[in-house]
């Protein structure tokens, strides 16, 4: 791991330090999880935006398979 310096507003830092999870796991662990969650959220947003650009805002994933359930054929047991 690499140490980084981050500046926080004093009020925010005090609020963070009062949190039970921060007291239990430490600031660094909680902030790492927060950064990871932020990046996952950004990635999901980017994927959603790409999907909407490709298929339009009204397209739904379920629509891609509409009608195909009638075409399914399952082997006899």
Distance from C-alpha of 31 to C-alpha of 36, rounded to nearest angstrom = 8
Is the pLDDT confidence value at 6 over 70? Answer: yes
- How much is the pLDDT for 59? 61
Tokens representing 3 are: 């140490």
Question: Which pTM value belongs to this model?
Answer: 0.66
Confidence of residue 61 (pLDDT cuts 50, 70, 90): low
The domain spans of the chain are 10-64
Distance from C-alpha of 67 to C-alpha of 58, rounded to nearest angstrom = 18
- How much is the pLDDT for 56? 78
Q: How does pLDDT run across 12-40, given as a tens digit for each residue? A: 999 999 999 999 999 999 999 999 999 99
């Amino acid at each position: 791991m690499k140490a980084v310096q981050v500046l926080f507003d004093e009020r925010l830092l005090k609020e963070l330090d009062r949190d039970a999870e921060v007291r239990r796991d430490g600031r660094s662990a909680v902030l790492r999880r927060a950064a990871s969650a932020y990046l996952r959220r950004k990635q999901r947003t980017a994927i959603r935006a790409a999907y909407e650009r490709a298929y339009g805002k009204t397209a739904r994933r379920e629509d891609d398979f509409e009608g195909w359930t009638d075409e399914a054929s399952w082997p006899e047991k």
